Structure 1
Amino acid sequence: MSSKADPTPHYFTRRETGFDPTGLARNPWFADAVAGGPISALFGHIIETAGFDPGFEICRVTIDILGVVPRSLLTPTIVPVRQGRQAQLYRIEMRAGDKMVAQAHVLLARQLDTPAFPTPQSHPAPEDVAEDNFLIGASMAGAIKTRPIMGRVREPGRGVCWMRMDGEIVLGVPTSPFVKACLFADFGNGVGSATHAHEWSYANLDISIQFFRKPRGDWFLLDAHTEGAGNGHAVAQSVFADADGVYAKGTQTVFVGPGRPRP
């Protein structure tokens, strides 16, 4: 957790071999586990600092959560999968001890000047929306600010919200818009949930982000909803935008199970 000597909220501390989660990275469902958002953001940090060829653009990041991620030292390994002239693919394996607990695949395409055909973004700008406590308890000790347009976490239905994160993912490392975007990509199944959490849970099993471009600025829009066929799983679908327009679209595979009664 943050201290008086270090007031900046953060999810991880860098160690010699990996990353040590703080209490702010805690999973809300399991006392000694790490939540999906911090894991996704940590992968974003690793991707950004990996030193990939600057002539290639990140066009897809997929993350698989391979069970409960323990709140212990997490060690990443980057494995090249494809090294082509037009596309490159890497796998990042995240281990707790000897066990792989999560993995990410990063697809990069060669940067070229091509025609643009952007997705329309019709929501009001963040400065035109009032700030409110949209996330209910997932505010990273106040570092995450929200300006909701539609819906609310823990209420079924489509959710639309501007978000801003002023903390750090890794202590002492300024958080870039790309890493913040990876954090918010995990929020779709909560912002756009289809059920009440006390009736049916909606834990995500993976995160997939298709980037049109790198995000920019401080405020990030999430427009999310969930659809399913009533057979134990569903798909949370998200549109991500910044002040300049839509920068990505994403999905999460959601495991639907019996909820937990409220205290």
Structure 2
Amino acid sequence: MAYFERLGATRFRATEHVSGAWDVTTQHIAPALGLLAHAVEADHAERRTDRLVVSRLSYDILGTLPVDVMDVEVEVIRPGRTIELVQATASYAGRAGVILRAWLLEPRDTSGIEGTPLPRIPGPDDMPAWNPSSLWPGGFIASAELRRVQEAPGRGTFWARTPLPLIANEKTSELARFTGLLDIANGMTVREDPTHVAFPNVDLTAHFFTEPRGEWVGFDTSVSFGAGGLGLTSSVIHDVHGPVGTVSQSLTVRPN
């Protein structure tokens, strides 16, 4: 079992494991974000013999995608020898649902000056297990294993992983697999009961300063609501070796 099945060069079928938390008839967007990252990497590998690395993934979520067949297209917006900007779009029935713009940069040896002031979080073995299906419905949430420490409403640290591959019978990178879990951040340390207040995100932007490794994705997350219907979920993201970057998600906050 996997989140997607490939039907052709640019067509994919979402499986039941992609069903969403806000509406189980539509996709939880997290796996689709991983799929678009994979599409960008696959396109890069076909076009070039050298390797650029992803520094930023910026997604605009234009609307919902049903748990059905969708198309993925990739185009190079800004070609370059050492820097590229690449766009990938996921569409259903000709309507774009998610657009990714990814910056890819030439790797260089900076091991002698690497470092970050971002604090580490306790590892997954040092956090208690938590069942996210106790709060959220849907196949995607049910597919994820969580470890969590909840500090306050809208403030927590947690780790997530999944046993399911992104695409059936197809190898994907650690970055694509990692990215396919990032959108889970918005629902794992909520400020308000989601049965009383809806707070879906309309975008997600991830910045990386190093390439993630391993099956666990760690989050140090804060959720903020303003007085005028806007919100923000911001996270420092980790692999088991330490921080690797940040994620931010703009929210539309809608009390029922």
TM-score with structure 2 setting the length: 0.87
Work out whether 1:26 is the aligned partner of 2:19.
yes
After TM superposition, the structure 1 stretch with the greater mean CA deviation from structure 2, 107-116 or 124-133, is 124-133
Runs (5+) with no aligned partner, structure 2: none
Find the counterpart in structure 2 of residue 78 from structure 1.
Answer: 74
1:142 to partner: Cα distance: 5.6
Find the counterpart in structure 1 of residue 91 from structure 2.
Answer: 95
Counterparts of 1:142 and 1:195 in 2: how far apart (Å)?
21
Measured against aligned partners, the alpha-carbon deviations of 1:10-62 in whole angstroms (never above 9, x if no partner) come to 21111024001111211233343211112212212222322344432100001
After TM superposition, the structure 1 stretch with the greater mean CA deviation from structure 2, 166-175 or 87-96, is 166-175
Find the counterpart in structure 2 of residue 162 from structure 1.
Answer: 159
Find the counterpart in structure 1 of residue 30 from structure 2.
Answer: 37
Counterparts of 1:141 and 1:190 in 2: how far apart (Å)?
10
1:130 to partner: Cα distance: 3.3
Counterparts of 1:229 and 1:31 in 2: how far apart (Å)?
28
Counterparts of 1:212 and 1:135 in 2: how far apart (Å)?
32
The structure that is helix-richer by fraction is 2
Q: Contact 2:235–2:247 at 8 Å: present in 1 too?
A: yes
% identical aligned pairs: 23
1:176 to partner: Cα distance: 3.8
Counterparts of 1:71 and 1:139 in 2: how far apart (Å)?
11
Runs (5+) with no aligned partner, structure 1: 1-7
Find the counterpart in structure 2 of residue 5 from structure 1.
Answer: none
Question: What letter corresponds to residue 172 of structure 1 in structure 2?
Answer: N
2:44 alignment partner, SS class = coil
Q: Contact 1:191–1:225 at 8 Å: present in 2 too?
A: no
Find the counterpart in structure 2 of residue 146 from structure 1.
Answer: 146
Question: What letter corresponds to residue 128 of structure 2 in structure 1?
Answer: A
1:237 alignment partner, SS class = strand
Counterparts of 1:90 and 1:44 in 2: how far apart (Å)?
10
Find the counterpart in structure 2 of residue 111 from structure 1.
Answer: 107
Measured against aligned partners, the alpha-carbon deviations of 1:209-253 in whole angstroms (never above 9, x if no partner) come to 001111111222111111232111111101110111111101001
Find the counterpart in structure 2 of residue 177 from structure 1.
Answer: 174
TM-score with structure 1 setting the length: 0.85
Counterparts of 1:210 and 1:23 in 2: how far apart (Å)?
29
Q: CA RMSD in A?
A: 2.2
After TM superposition, the structure 1 stretch with the greater mean CA deviation from structure 2, 169-178 or 54-63, is 169-178
Counterparts of 2:187 and 2:51 in 1: how far apart (Å)?
35
Distance 1:161 1:253, change over 3 A: same
Runs ≥4 residues deviating over 6 A = none
Aligned pairs for 1:198-217 (under 5 A) are: 198-217=195-214
The count of residues paired between Structure 1 and Structure 2 equals 248
